Amino acid sequence: MNRIEERFARLKKEGQKGFIVYIGAGDPSLEMTRRLALVFDKMGVDILELGVPFSDPLADGLVNQLAAQRGLESGTTPAKVLQTVAAIRLESQIPIVLYIYFNLMHRRGLEPFVREAAAAGVDGLLALDLPPEESGNYEALMARAGMSVIYLVAPTTPESRMELIVRHGRGFIYYVSREGVTGMQKSVSETIGAMTAKIRAHTDLPIAVGFGISTPEQARMVALNADAVVVGSAVVHQIAEHGRCADLPERVAAFTGALLKPVKDKSSL
């Protein structure tokens, strides 16, 4: 088992729900990305998703688009993201997933990118625009490297295709809780329970639910049906607001901790 699988096995044994945080790599700098990763690990975040900056992030709303732009402006490249992961690994074993667009892997060469990501300490890849039907030898390369292939299921995914997607996934399934792009929302979808039940009918993999979760109450509600809660844009927004502050990690940790608490509080679930 890799770190992702080990973490979910531990959570299941302890009767706990997982908490996953997404941030844009290199926003506002790669050194701050490293520092934030260590803070998240210490406070109990289960998995860290690092968005690799890309010039055309089609799945992302404005908050994460701007984070990608700031990452590019800070000089962040896929190779430098891997260097940062390797630096994190000197002090932390937090499971790390790269949230990435396929063009970035294709440009480097799929086989060398997968090999280099594994060597740096990456545990899984979530390629936003690579469906399993078009994945070619991607899954075989990932399996040999010991990394998890993470696929998305959307509210509009037909059940027949859902079955195909989860059969190809490893580590966990990422359920996109609403239609559209990433971004903070005032409420969570009322269909999460029904959709996670449909997914569970086809797989034993853990189900992580994200897209739009931005308050402690929303996190608690999602955790009722999910195996893990993913918070992205809300944390990225905090980084955007306080990116120039010397105490950025502490500010982000305080905000993130408020969302993590109800997910980990068994009495609230």
pLDDT in tens, the chain (269 residues): 899 999 999 999 999 999 999 999 999 999 999 999 999 999 999 999 999 999 998 878 889 999 999 999 999 999 999 999 999 999 999 999 999 999 999 999 999 999 999 999 999 999 999 999 999 999 999 999 999 999 999 999 999 999 999 999 999 999 997 544 444 445 556 789 999 999 999 999 999 999 889 999 999 999 999 999 999 999 999 999 999 999 999 999 999 999 999 999 987 77
At 27 the three-state DSSP class reads coil
- Active-site residue numbers? 49, 60
Nearest Cα residue to 128 out of 104, 164, 94, 159: 104
How far apart are alpha carbons 90 and 262 in whole angstroms? 30
Q: Three-state SS across 190-223?
A: CCHHHHHHHHHCCCCCCEEEECCCCCHHHHHHHH
Q: What is the CATH number of the domain that holds 106?
A: 3.20.20.70
Find the domain containing 193 and state its range.
Answer: 3-268
Total domains present in the chain: 1
At 176 the three-state DSSP class reads strand
- Region of 251 on the Ramachandran plot (φ > 0 left; ψ -120 to 50 alpha; else beta): alpha
Q: Extract the tokens encoding 198.
A: 């449909």
